[in-house]
Amino acid sequence: MANSLDTTFAALADPTRRAILSMLLEDDMAVTDVAEPFEMSLAAISKHLMILTRAGLIAQEKRGRVKWCKLEPDAMKGASVWMQGFGQFEPVNLDAFERFLETELDSAPE
């Protein structure tokens, strides 16, 4: 489970990937539609999508000539259960959790 958690948290560490996941909460989207709001190349978005796919957070499928992305609804269950063990993170706010981790890492003795 630790490796799965590492992969999930690594995928969630990037704000672009978190934004993509938020977009996919609404509905499945074509890759070109996912890329539209971001000021980066389609190749860069594709790399983000590959990381999310490898983490199991999204699935990609080809429908005709268009590649679609969809959220995998149970993918974050393990991470959510792990964070709930800390109580103070309920409900889970990933941005706040990221700030907490940054603060802890910055104040850790070297």
Band (64; pLDDT cuts 50, 70, 90)? very high
pTM to 2 decimal places: 0.73
Q: How confident is the model at residue 91 (pLDDT cuts 50, 70, 90)?
A: low
- What class has domain 2-107? mainly alpha
Q: Where are the domains of the chain?
A: 2-107
Instruction: Please give the pLDDT value at position 84.
Output: 77
CB atoms closer than 10 angstroms to residue 44 = 13
Tell me, what's the pLDDT at 51?
96
∠ Cα 17 46 50 (to 5°):
70
- Per residue in 3-31, pLDDT (tens digit) is 788 899 999 999 999 999 999 998 999 99
Residue with tokens 């959220």: 71
